[in-house]
């Protein structure tokens, strides 16, 4: 099946084939980079949510100790 995918390249000049190969390599690198960036972004979003929960819990504990109404603007 892969020969059918490559069939469109038949008869192209060597320079064109070389450029196509370079572009395919670049595409693979960009796909890998995008995947890594996506994973990094998801990890950062998860860490941010965890920190928001910690801050929210700290605020609740702090205000409960002082028996002051918790300001709703400070809760996430």
Q: Which domain holds residue 58?
A: 13-74
> What per-residue confidence (pLDDT) applies to 5?
76
- For 61-76, how does the pLDDT look when each residue is reduced to its tens digit (9 = 90+)? 887 777 665 566 655 5
Inside any domain, residue 4: no
- What does the H/E/C string look like for 4-18? HHHHHHCCCCHHHHH
pLDDT attached to residue 60 = 86
The reported pLDDT for the residue numbered 51 is 98
Inside any domain, residue 8: no
Whether 5 maps to a domain, the answer reads no
Domain membership flag for residue 26: yes
Q: Decide if 65 is inside a domain.
A: yes
- pLDDT digits 0-9 by tens, 21-30: 999 999 999 9
The predicted-structure confidence for 29-59, as pLDDT tens digits, reads as follows: 999 999 999 999 999 999 999 999 999 999 8
Q: How far apart are the first and last CA of the chain?
A: 53
Position 23 scores a pLDDT of: 98
């Amino acid at each position: 099946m892969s020969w059918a995918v490559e069939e469109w390249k038949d008869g192209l000049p060597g320079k064109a084939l070389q450029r196509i190969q370079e572009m395919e390599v670049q595409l693979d690198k960009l796909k890998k980079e995008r995947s890594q960036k996506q994973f990094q972004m998801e990890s950062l979003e998860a860490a941010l949510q965890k920190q928001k929960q910690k801050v929210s819990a700290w605020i609740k504990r702090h205000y409960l100790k002082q028996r002051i109404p918790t300001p709703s603007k400070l809760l996430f």
